[in-house]
Amino acid sequence: MSDDTEVDSGSGYDAEQDLAQRLFLATPEHTTRGILFMATLRTLRELGVDEAMVQRCLEASGETEFVEFFNYPTSSLLRLLEAAARALCPKYGSVEESLRQIGWMSGDIYMASKVGRSAQQLMGGADPMQWVRALQALYKVVMAYSEPSVIWMGPKRGILAVQRTFTPLPYHEGGALSIAARLGVQNVKVRARRTGDLSIELAFSWE
């Protein structure tokens, strides 16, 4: 699944450059559910960002309000994420870590939504396999163009391959770990890496 274009979220990763490249590639046909916009704004408020700054981040998106499962331009989400990550930099020290925290909150808010709660009821207990299924379902719901698929590399590790996604690597890591926590799945590891202009792999494992 990997090639010479592979870049992961480790040393040398530039989150701001990643955001800029994805924004350049976003077209009007690419849309994202409103719940991710709402989660980003809620994250800012819950982490103590003042309301004036929250409103400036909203203005950066080019939108005025959101409905959970309506579709909005993905480019608007990327502009919102860029502004939000910069607003959180004083607290987390970098755009990368700020995006990871926004991803965490977004995953948590999704799982607390009506759709997420229904998914949890169907899944039952803290089963790592259910966590992986929940991740795959999440991409299908919020990013219809993502085409997620799971490749098992062993009994406790694998790869979630996402063919088209515009959100940056640490955002995916935070969201995946948040959903694991919501489901009660412990001792998990996630590392996102880019495998193409818009494709990523989430390498996951647990003990």
For the chain, percent of residues with pLDDT exceeding 70: 91
Domain ranges (residues) in the chain: 8-206
What are residue 142's phi and psi, to 5 degrees? -90, -20
Evaluate if residue 5 carries a pLDDT over 50.
Answer: no
| pLDDT bracket for residue 114 (50, 70, 90) | confident
Q: In the numeric block, which tokens belong to residue 126?
A: 């803290």
CA dihedral sign of residues 49, 52, 55, 57: negative
What are residue 189's phi and psi, to 5 degrees? -130, 140
Instruction: Determine the pLDDT at residue 7.
Output: 54
> To the nearest 5 percent, what fractions of the chain are helix, strand and coil?
55, 15, 30
* 188-194 β-sheet, strand order: 7-8, 188-194, 200-206, 157-162, 148-154
Evaluate if residue 2 carries a pLDDT over 50.
Answer: no
Length of the chain equals 207
Residue 152 bridge partners (DSSP): 158
Other beta carbons within 10 angstroms of residue 135's beta carbon come to 23
Distance from C-alpha of 159 to C-alpha of 161, rounded to nearest angstrom: 6
pLDDT digits (tens, 9 = 90+) for 148-192: 999 999 999 999 999 989 999 999 999 999 999 988 888 999 999
Evaluate if residue 6 carries a pLDDT over 60.
Answer: no
Residue 200 bridge partners (DSSP): 162, 194
98 and 85 in contact (C-beta within 8 Å)?
yes
User: In this structure, which amino acid lies at residue 37?
Assistant: F
Task: Using DSSP, state whether 194 is helix, strand or coil.
Answer: strand
**Range with the lowest mean pLDDT among 71-85, 117-131, 179-193?**
117-131
Q: What kind of architecture, by CATH, is found in domain 8-206?
A: Alpha-Beta Complex (3.90)
